[in-house]
């Protein structure tokens, strides 16, 4: 399983290379639908990061915070974050092993099937405006069930991967990546 930030980086590069608009809000919606598709088609999440329920739909906080400085502006390949610093709190800072692990983005680490899934999902969703994607995520039962809490500003409400998979498996019409 990969990091959501590295999937976001791949999305940014692909969109830049194919003259598709990409900003932080759109990245968040693409991450959600790409992960949902991977859950449906492969039975597992594409990335390990949690997806939270925010007012404008699903958000991966780590990715949001990395790119929030761009606001609604386009993000380019030159803006991507190539490294993630992960802290392992189970390792003693006084031992020989470092509690810090540095992960470096390398698009070559994505499998051919992951690349196909990411790219074909981006292409299938390009016909939708970013705010249409927001609206579509608000139609999901998982978002509706927490709507009042979300709109009142409740923090830390997360999507469950099993719940996402089950929703999309039982609501074929919501698999918008298939509506080409």
Domain boundaries, the chain: 4-77+108-178
What tokens were used for 81? 């974050």
User: Do the Cβ atoms of 56 and 37 come closer than 8 Å?
Assistant: no
CA 136/CA 89 separation, integer angstroms? 38
Look over the chain and give the mean of its residue pLDDT values, rounded to a whole number.
91
pLDDT score at 84: 60
Question: What are residue 2's phi and psi, to 5 degrees?
Answer: -105, 180
Residue 138: band (very low, low, confident or very high) from pLDDT cuts 50, 70, 90? very high
Question: What are residue 155's phi and psi, to 5 degrees?
Answer: -105, 155
Q: Which residue has the higher pLDDT, 141 or 116?
A: 116
DSSP class of residue 26? H
pLDDT score at 17: 97
pLDDT score at 108: 84
What is the rounded average pLDDT of the residues 150-167?
Answer: 96
User: Do the Cβ atoms of 25 and 67 come closer than 8 Å?
Assistant: no
pLDDT at 143 over 60: yes
User: Do the Cβ atoms of 16 and 88 come closer than 8 Å?
Assistant: no
What is the rounded average pLDDT of the residues 107-120?
Answer: 95
pLDDT at 98 over 90: no
Q: How many CA atoms lie within 13 A of 10 on its CB side?
A: 29
DSSP class of residue 135? H
Please give the share of the chain, as a percent, with pLDDT higher than 90. Answer: 77
């Amino acid at each position: 399983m990969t990091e959501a930030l590295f999937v976001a980086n791949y999305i940014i590069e692909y969109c830049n290379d194919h003259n598709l608009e990409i900003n932080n809000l759109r990245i968040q919606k693409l991450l959600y639908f790409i992960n949902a598709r991977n859950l449906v088609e492969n039975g597992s999440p594409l990335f390990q990061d949690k997806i939270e329920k925010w007012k404008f739909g699903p958000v991966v906080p780590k990715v949001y915070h990395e790119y929030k400085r761009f606001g609604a502006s386009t993000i380019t390949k030159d803006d991507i974050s190539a490294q993630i610093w992960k802290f392992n709190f189970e390792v003693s800072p006084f031992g020989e092993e470092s509690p810090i692990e540095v992960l470096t983005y390398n698009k070559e680490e994505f499998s051919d099937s992951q690349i196909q899934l990411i790219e074909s999902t981006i292409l299938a969703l390009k016909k939708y405006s970013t705010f249409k994607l927001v609206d579509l995520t608000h139609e999901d039962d998982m978002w509706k069930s927490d709507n009042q809490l979300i709109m009142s500003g409740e923090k830390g409400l997360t999507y469950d991967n099993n719940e996402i998979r089950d929703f999309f498996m039982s609501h074929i019409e919501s698999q918008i990546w298939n509506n080409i």
